[in-house]
């Protein structure tokens, strides 16, 4: 797609936004930015937003529900969502866009697209998320994953890739998955499938192996209750990959001494260049469709 006549304005976020600027310039696009790590800020964010053909916002769009996502060390102050929505009158991309922001922007004439509506992007993002999870575990553990007993909770996009990589590293993997049809896939991946509950209704998370060293959770429900946390092995590390509210009762985890890491936004933290290339592919594909519509 020829982007030489397009003007993009990129705002906030993490290192992914910087690599996205680079990808756009390689396509010949005109790119201005504000609050993007490693980029020179334009003088006036309102003018940038108004003049652009396409506005690229962070993933997630906001962390506090009030401002655009911003790096803490940024030299400029984050922008309020309500003010920014009023400045949007063109094509807007972002991640996990709040309904209120979308409504306000669209009422101003903007066309709003959420990256996370793309199954293509979700599948691609599973890879750096899984690799980032392994990095977190290796950093925190005192043993190798090779030979360790590991539990993966959920066998969706992330759980599938994570299981494959753990098995390749030599870990002994048990996967807890509700859907029976996925158990055959888990067996073919050389892991052991288990349900969350047995036929009598017993919670099988209560019987996680006493020598389990890591639990990787991908389920965005607080299924690790006080009762389950109290039963976990004391040496076990809990790596939570789920989006809010997460899968663990964090107050109870602290009470019972469960070592846990809520590892969110891993693609942007551990593989921003690759993650930005996935965003660029999604962006270009969507813009190409718009050009022919």
Is it true that 7-117+272-292 and 122-262 share their CATH fold? yes
The answer to whether 111 touches 92, Cβ cutoff 8 Å, is yes
Which of 209, 165, 213, 208 has the alpha carbon at shortest distance from 189? 165
What CATH number labels 122-262? Answer: 3.40.50.720
pLDDT for position 293? 57
User: What pLDDT, in 10s, does the model give residues 152-186?
Assistant: 999 999 999 999 999 999 999 999 999 999 999 99
pTM value? 0.90
Sign for the CA dihedral angle at 283, 286, 90, 291 comes to positive
**Cβ atoms 94, 115 nearer than 8 A:** yes
Residue ranges of the chain with per-residue pLDDT less than 70: 292-293
**What local confidence, expressed as pLDDT, does residue 191 receive?**
98
For domain 7-117+272-292, the question of CATH label 2.130.10.10 is answered with no
Roughly how many angstroms between the first and final C-alpha of the chain, as a whole number? 15
Give the integer Cα–Cα distance in Å for 93 and 66.
Answer: 18
Instruction: Name the residue ranges covered by the structural domains of the chain.
Output: 7-117+272-292, 122-262
Q: Residue 292: what pLDDT?
A: 65
């Amino acid at each position: 797609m020829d982007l030489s006549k397009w003007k993009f304005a990129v705002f906030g976020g993490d290192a992914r936004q910087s690599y996205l600027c680079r990808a756009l310039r390689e396509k010949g696009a005109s790119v201005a930015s504000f609050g993007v790590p490693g980029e020179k800020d334009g003088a006036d964010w309102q003018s940038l937003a108004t003049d652009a053909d396409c506005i690229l916002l962070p993933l997630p769009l906001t962390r506090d529900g009030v401002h655009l996502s911003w790096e803490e060390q940024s030299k400029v102050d984050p922008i309020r969502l309500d003010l920014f929505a009023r400045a949007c009158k063109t094509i807007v991309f972002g991640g996990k866009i709040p309904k209120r922001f979308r409504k306000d922007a669209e009422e101003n004439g903007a066309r709003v697209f959420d990256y996370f509506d793309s199954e293509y992007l979700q599948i691609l993002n599973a890879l750096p998320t899984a690799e980032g999870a392994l990095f977190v575990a290796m950093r925190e553990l005192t043993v190798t994953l090779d030979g360790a007993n590991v539990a993966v909770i959920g066998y969706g996009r992330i759980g599938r890739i994570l299981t494959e990589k753990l098995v390749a590293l030599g870990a002994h993997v048990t996967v807890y998955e509700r859907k029976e049809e996925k158990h055959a896939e888990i067996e073919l991946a050389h892991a052991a499938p288990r349900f969350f509950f047995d036929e009598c209704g017993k919670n099988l998370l209560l019987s996680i192996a006493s020598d389990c060293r890591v639990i990787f959770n991908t389920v965005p429900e607080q299924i690790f209750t006080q009762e389950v946390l109290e039963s976990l092995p004391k040496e076990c590390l809990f790596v939570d990959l789920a989006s809010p509210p997460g899968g663990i009762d964090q107050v109870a985890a602290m009470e019972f001494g469960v070592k846990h890491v809520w590892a969110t936004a891993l693609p942007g933290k551990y593989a921003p260049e690759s993650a930005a290339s996935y965003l660029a592919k999604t962006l270009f594909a969507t813009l190409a469709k718009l050009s022919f519509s």
